Amino acid sequence: MSDDSVLLPAEILARSPSVADGVSSEVEMEHRIWACELIQEAGILLRLPMVCMCTAQNLLHRFYYRKSLKRFDALSVAMACFFLACKIEEKPRRIRETLFVFHYIWRCRVKTAPRTLDLGGPRYNSWKADLVKTERHVLKELGFSFYVLDHAHKFILFYVKILDLNRDVAQRAWNYLNDSMRLDFCLRYRSEVIACAAIFMAARALQKKLPTEAQD
């Protein structure tokens, strides 16, 4: 009942704005992956359910098919998508929590990053203004259709049950899906298909036999 599909057409996927702006596609991929990792880690630190991170990562990938990395840096966009996704998934987080958590995971990664972010200080205020501004850009670029009804994760347990596989396979497939969100699969393939691929890989890795024929 949401907008039927969030898949992007091939001609858009083939031409990313960053590449058009002179960023190589390898660098673009690295930035996407880095941004998604920030989102994942922020979500874990704030004890959010996976659906918030998935939505944020989905928004981020869609955003970078609209705008170039040269205009919007990965950190700001990751933060904005995260902040927005929490609201969308009914788990709103304070702007303050979002800023502190992102500053923390950023400075863990970047040696030269400033060590502190003082509440109400000049750096805090400029980050906050940037976050609010970027959030609006994200909404605008996505045309205000931001609700992802069916993440691939939703199908895992259902399929695992039908295929009569165990918990380990489900967990392994779930992990693959979490990792898959680093890339823009969610805009290329339907969620059911991604879920099937994850289960297939998990069954292979754990040497579990999958049924070879359709059963009633």
Partner 1 sequence: MQAYDVGGELGKGQWGTVFRGKRVRDGLRVAIKRVRAGDPVEGVNFQVLREIKMLKGVKHENIVELVDVVPQEEGLNMIFELMATDLEKVLYGTTPTEAEIKGYAAMLLEGLAFMHAHFALHRDIKPANLLISFEGILKLGDFGYARYLADENCHMSDQCCTLWYRPPELLFGASEYGFGIDTWSAGCVLAEVGLKHPLFRGETDLDQLAKIFQITGPPDETAWPGVSSLRKYIRFSKNDNPLTVRTLLNNARLAPDFVDLIVGLLSLDPKSRDSAVDALDRPFFTALPRPVARPPRKHL
Residues engaged in binding partner 1 (CB under 8 A): 1-3, 83-84, 87-88, 90, 92, 94-95, 128-129, 131-132, 135-136, 139-140, 143-147, 149
Between the CA of residue 122 and those of 77, 79, 184, what are the distances in Å? Answer: 20, 18, 35
DSSP 99-159: HHHHHHHHHHH-TTS-S---TTSHHHHHHHHHHHHHHHHHHHHTTT-------THHHHHHH
Closest CB to partner 1 among residues 149, 205: 149
For 170, the token pair is 């489900």
Closest CB to partner 1 among residues 81, 169: 81
Q: How far apart are CA 215 and CA 213, in angstroms?
A: 6
For 134, the token pair is 């970027």
Count CA within 13 A, CB hemisphere, residue 133: 10
Nearest distance, CB of residue 168 and partner 1, angstroms: 24
Closest CB to partner 1 among residues 71, 140: 140
Nearest distance, CB of residue 125 and partner 1, angstroms: 10
Closest CB to partner 1 among residues 84, 181: 84
Closest CB to partner 1 among residues 83, 100: 83
Between the CA of residue 178 and those of 99, 147, 156, 187, what are the distances in Å? Answer: 23, 18, 12, 15
Nearest distance, CB of residue 140 and partner 1, angstroms: 5
Nearest distance, CB of residue 193 and partner 1, angstroms: 23
Nearest distance, CB of residue 206 and partner 1, angstroms: 28
Q: How far apart are CA 122 and CA 125, in angstroms?
A: 5
Nearest distance, CB of residue 157 and partner 1, angstroms: 13
Closest CB to partner 1 among residues 2, 166: 2
Angle (nearest 5°) at CA 38 between 91 and 113: 120
